Amino acid sequence: MSFSFPATSQPASSPKSRRSSELESVIPPGSAVRAITSLLRVLLRVTITDGRVFLGTFAGTDQPMNILLLNTEEYRMSLPSLKSTLSESELELLALEKEARSDGRYVGQILIPWRMVVKVEAQNA
């Protein structure tokens, strides 16, 4: 199961309604709670706006939909000057290779702000 949440840089008039409509576009409203509950204790990979990737066990969210991860490792995945010269598929391969090579930094318990989340991926069970 994989969820992708679009990153928005412009402030909305009502943050709660914006979050709600973004979530409803990905998950039907009736199943949102079941979907979040099914992810409890599942390994998630969360990519944030600055290129960092957090790999940890999902423990829940708070009212503004910040993501709480436990036993988390942080990976820095920046590809500075290559972005303009390589195709998207080449960049993905490079990122995968770098991820396999790079050493993560253990950060333990972390709360990731919703506004910084670019992508959330769940490990298939």
Structure tokens at 115: 């506004």
For the chain, domain boundaries: 2-122
In this predicted model, what pLDDT tens digit does every residue of 12-65 receive, in sequence order? 445 555 555 565 666 666 688 888 899 999 999 999 999 899 999 999 999 999
The dotted CATH code for 2-122 is 2.30.30.100
56 burial class (0-12, 13-18, 19+ CB within 10 angstroms)?
A: buried
**Rounded to an integer, what distance in angstroms lies between the CA atom of residue 8 and that of residue 117?**
10
Cβ neighbours around 22 below 10 Å, total: 17
Residue 6 has pLDDT above 70, yes or no: no
